[in-house]
Chains A and B, each alone.
Chain A
Amino acid sequence: GENVEQHPSTLSVQEGDSAVIKCTYSDSASNYFPWYKQELGKRPQLIIDIRSNVGEKKDQRIAVTLNKTAKHFSLHITETQPEDSAVYFCAALSGGYQKVTFGIGTKLQVIP
Chain B
Amino acid sequence: GAVVSQHPSRVICKSGTSVKIECRSLDFQATTMFWYRQFPKKSLMLMATSNEGSKATYEQGVEKDKFLINHASLTLSTLTVTSAHPEDSSFYICSARVTGTSGRRSYNEQFFGPGTRLTVL
Chain A residues near B (Cβ < 8 Å): 32, 34, 36, 42-46, 49, 89, 93, 97-105, 107
| Number of residues from B at the complex interface, CB < 8 A | 23
The 20 sampled A-B contact pairs (Cβ below 8 Å) are A32-B108, A36-B112, A42-B114, A44-B93, A44-B112, A45-B112, A46-B111, A93-B108, A97-B32, A97-B57, A98-B97, A98-B108, A99-B34, A99-B49, A100-B46, A100-B95, A100-B110, A102-B44, A102-B45, A103-B43
**Contact residues of B: prevailing secondary structure:** strand
Contact with A along B45-82 (1 / 0, CB 8 A): 11001000000010000000000000000000000000
Name A43's contact: one of B41, B97, B114 (CB within 8 Å).
B114
Chain B residues near A (Cβ < 8 Å): 1, 32, 34, 41-46, 49, 57, 93, 95, 97, 99, 108-115
Q: Which of A32, A45, A99, A107 has the most CB of B within 10 A?
A: A99
Q: How far is the CA of A50 from the CA of B95 in the complex (A)?
A: 19
Q: Is A102 within 8 A of B43, CB to CB?
A: yes
Q: Which residues of A contact B113 (CB under 8 A)?
A: 43
